[in-house]
Amino acid sequence: MNSEYFFLAPNSIKKIICCLLLFFCISDVTAQSSKEDMRQLIDRQYKLAEKQYRILASNTPIGRMPKTFYAKSNKFETSDTKWWCSGFYPGSLLYIYEYTKDETTLKEAELRLASLAKEKHYTGNHDLGFMMYCSFGNAYRLNKKPEYKTTIDTAAASLTTRYRPDAKVIQSWNSSKKWKGPVIIDNLMNLELLLWVAQNGGDQKYKEVALNHADATLANHFRPDFSSYHVVDYDMTNGEVVRKGTAQGASDDSAWSRGQGWALYGYTMMYRFTKDKKYLGFAQNIASYILNSPTLPKDKIPYWDFNAKDIPNTYRDASAAAIIASALLELGQYSSSKDKKYYTDQAREMLVSLSSKEYTAEEGSNGGFLLKHSTGALPLKSEIDVPLTYADYYYLEALMRYKNWYL
């Protein structure tokens, strides 16, 4: 071997070491810059949310909840407290208060909680988790008032009245001419209420109900590619599947975007409570379906259905993006370092897009809502390309999760 090599090697090694040090220094500076950018983005968005939600409060009569706003007709729409979205407005207020410490925002949240509290007895559908846990769950997390926990416990008992033991599922909607025993993918989200109560001094039957429902949904709601049906209709006397279809998707066999978000969030949440790796693996497979979809746009804000026939000439769903981003951030907490970075990067891209002028309302506009361009139920011609309370809620939750976990 040429002896000249040995004289050159030390210098070459020094150069390599210098290059590596420079690379790591640049990487560290880039990471710090990215973190600072996200800190500024989160701060900006929460301050805007505080201002917007003061407008929202002024537009919403006492005893009602904000529903949506139609910019073309300048029409603001509210709902009663039995509407499935009634918990998202106080829940969003509580996230805003948590960040800003604005007492006016807290008082507004408490005012709305007071009008919502009676729905702890509601048994008309499966939405008690959305209604009572997104609201009173956050309220109890921030202020351990005993009455908040009592409300949550009572809501869990109300929800379990819809459990059908022969089918081992919670029935979503009442029977109708169209559906015999419908269970929708959204119902996974309400299991958080049951699991939390069981974990915090409540009856362990709530956990059993949640596990049974999650397992039945895992077995019956998903296709081989891990996309989800919206509705599975059961014979509640024996648990047999009658048919699979949709109420809000493009077709019975399509992947309704918000439904995929519910599925991802739901099984990630199931892993949080149970540490059962089958739920974690399933959530990761759902994430893979979503993030690798050929119809997912470059800005990561899904069309309202991943299989909509008129893509790209159709509507986006900011609410689906917000739910998916929040779920990915939690999924990253339970994944390997490589996967954690991937999920976090994907979620950050979604949040950056949602925080842009394309999706975030200008101050004073949008009826007081924060995000634009959500799609409620296009086949039903309902809430198309409008702001929605749950879009704001999961967006604010995702921003808070990013702040707490990744900054």
Element (H, E) at 31: helix 4-59
For residue 137, give the DSSP letter. I
Least confident of 21-30, 117-126, 211-220, 357-366: 21-30
Per-residue model confidence (pLDDT) at position 5:
40
Annotated binding site: 127, 186, 246, 258, 262
Amino acid identity, residue 271?
A: Y
CATH number of the structural domain spanning residue 170: 1.50.10.10
C-beta separation of 353 from 321 below 8 A: yes
- For residue 351, pLDDT over 90 is answered with yes
| Mean pLDDT on 43-66 | 98
Per-residue model confidence (pLDDT) at position 2:
46
DSSP β-bridge partners for residue 75: 70
Under 8 Å CB-to-CB from 73, ≥6 apart: which residues? Answer: none
DSSP β-bridge partners for residue 273: none
In a domain, 1, yes or no: no
Measure the CA–CA gap between 253 and 167, rounded to whole angstroms: 23
Nearest 10 degrees: Cα torsion 134, 137, 139, 143 = -160
Q: Among residues 127, 153, 385, 392, which one is catalytic?
A: 127
Measure the CA–CA gap between 367 and 58, rounded to whole angstroms: 10
Number of other CB atoms surrounding residue 240 within 10 Å? 12
Nearest 10 degrees: Cα torsion 131, 136, 137, 140 = 180
Tens of pLDDT, residues 223-255: 999 999 999 999 999 999 999 999 999 999 999
In a domain, 7, yes or no: no
Name the domain count of the chain: 1
Q: Which domain holds residue 279?
A: 34-406
In a domain, 248, yes or no: yes
Per-residue model confidence (pLDDT) at position 33:
72
In a domain, 83, yes or no: yes
Measure the CA–CA gap between 88 and 326, rounded to whole angstroms: 15
Question: Minimal CA–CA distance to 39: which of 363, 351, 392, 357?
Answer: 351
Burial of 363 by CB count in 10 Å (0-12 exposed, 13-18 middle, 19+ buried)?
A: exposed
Taking phi over 0 as left and psi of -120 to 50 as alpha, with beta for the rest, 366 belongs to left
Report residue 19's pLDDT band, with 50, 70 and 90 as the boundaries. low
In a domain, 27, yes or no: no
Question: Minimal CA–CA distance to 234: which of 281, 187, 283, 304?
Answer: 187
Measured on CA atoms in the order 327, 328, 332, 336, is the torsion positive or negative? positive
Under 8 Å CB-to-CB from 36, ≥6 apart: which residues? Answer: none
Per-residue model confidence (pLDDT) at position 32:
73
Under 8 Å CB-to-CB from 3, ≥6 apart: which residues? Answer: none
In a domain, 20, yes or no: no
Measure the CA–CA gap between 82 and 76, rounded to whole angstroms: 18
Q: Among residues 153, 186, 233, 392, which one is catalytic?
A: 186
Tokens standing for residue 43: 């701060």
- For residue 183, pLDDT over 50 is answered with yes
Give Dmax (Cα) for the chain: 89
DSSP β-bridge partners for residue 8: none
Select the more confidently predicted residue: 42 or 28: 42
In a domain, 15, yes or no: no
Annotated binding site for substrate: 127, 186, 246, 258, 262
Report residue 27's pLDDT band, with 50, 70 and 90 as the boundaries. low
Measure the CA–CA gap between 44 and 33, rounded to whole angstroms: 16
Select the more confidently predicted residue: 368 or 22: 368
| Tokens 């590619």 belong to residue | 225
C-beta separation of 137 from 393 below 8 A: no
- For residue 90, pLDDT over 50 is answered with yes
For residue 233, give the DSSP letter. E
Under 8 Å CB-to-CB from 60, ≥6 apart: which residues? Answer: 66, 78, 89
312 SS3 class = coil
| 186 labelled catalytic | yes
Q: What average pLDDT is seen over the chain?
A: 94
In a domain, 191, yes or no: yes
Per-residue model confidence (pLDDT) at position 23:
57
269 SS3 class = helix
